[in-house]
Amino acid sequence: MKFFVDTANIDEIRDLADTGLLDGVTTNPSLIAKTGRNFLNVVAEICEVVKGPVSAEVAATDFETMLAEGRKLAGIADNIAVKVPLTRDGLKTCKVLSEGGTMVNVTLCFSANQAILAAKAGATFISPFVGRLDDLATDGMGLIDDICQIYANYPNFTTEVLVASVRSPMHIVDAARIGAHVATVPPAVLWSLFNHPLTDKGLAAFLSDWEKTGQSIL
């Protein structure tokens, strides 16, 4: 499974990139707005730090303007994945951009029906929002399972399932168990994957025993 981080905070991205475990980044207008910086500058800086796909979202809702924005975003760097909403105009934009060799991340997916359409439109990634479905007492992971099974039935579908709106480590584990290709995760949740009380306890015991020896490796 690939790990993307869902943030536009360049410092957080650098820290996670230093672990060697970061495969890409997803952003959206809300995350960019939190930085208080110029949208295009932020995206360009992220693309310099992370070599994997960096999702940058269009702001328009009509086909012509979405396509123009998408082409401008794609010109920032080779690793840009243009992010479009799962609407009629969004999928039209996806079709044109993907046929031109641009990666496209189709976002705001909430049904298997929509995921099928995105795959047929040539999306590089489909982003189902599991947390938002869970908030409505709907099984978000059930949707991931459905999409993965459907895609597996059709070898000509090359779209990767990118699990979005992740709220906890268990979302990541469940997505990996199902076979989703990518999870895009807030920094805090991604860092929490390292944590386990028995790891902390075991390390403390090792360090205590080592200190008693009075030795030094260096």
Q: In this predicted model, what pLDDT tens digit does every residue of 89-126 receive, in sequence order?
A: 999 999 999 999 999 999 999 999 999 999 999 999 99
State how far the Cα of 36 lies from the Cα of 150, in Å rounded to an integer: 40
Would residue 218 count as lying in a domain? no
Q: What average pLDDT does range 31-56 have in this prediction? A: 96
Task: Look at residue 22 and give its three-state secondary structure.
Answer: coil
* pLDDT band at 129; cut points 50, 70, 90: very high
pTM of the model: 0.94
CATH code where residue 15 lies: 3.20.20.70
Q: What average pLDDT does range 169-187 have in this prediction? A: 97
Q: Are strands 182-185 and 125-128 parallel, antiparallel or unpaired?
A: unpaired
Structure token digits, residue 151: 């895609």
Q: What average pLDDT does range 186-195 have in this prediction? A: 95
The predicted pLDDT at position 25 comes to 98
Name the domain count of the chain: 1
Q: What is the mean pLDDT of the chain?
A: 97
Q: How far is CA 173 from CA 3, 190, 205, in A?
A: 12, 12, 28
Q: Say which of 34, 51, 72, 83 is annotated catalytic.
A: 83
The predicted pLDDT at position 171 comes to 97
The predicted pLDDT at position 85 comes to 98
Question: Look-up: residue for tokens 């579908």?
Answer: 157
Question: Look-up: residue for tokens 């030795």?
Answer: 215
Task: Look at residue 39 and give its three-state secondary structure.
Answer: helix
Task: Look at residue 122 and give its three-state secondary structure.
Answer: coil
* pLDDT band at 17; cut points 50, 70, 90: very high
Q: DSSP for 62-73, please give it.
A: SHHHHHHHHHHH
Q: What average pLDDT does range 191-212 have in this prediction? A: 95
| pLDDT over 90, % of the chain | 100
| pLDDT over 70, % of the chain | 100
Active site residue 83: yes
Would residue 124 count as lying in a domain? yes
Question: The domain containing residue 72 runs over which residues?
Answer: 2-213
* pLDDT band at 47; cut points 50, 70, 90: very high
CB of 148 within 8 A of CB of 154? no
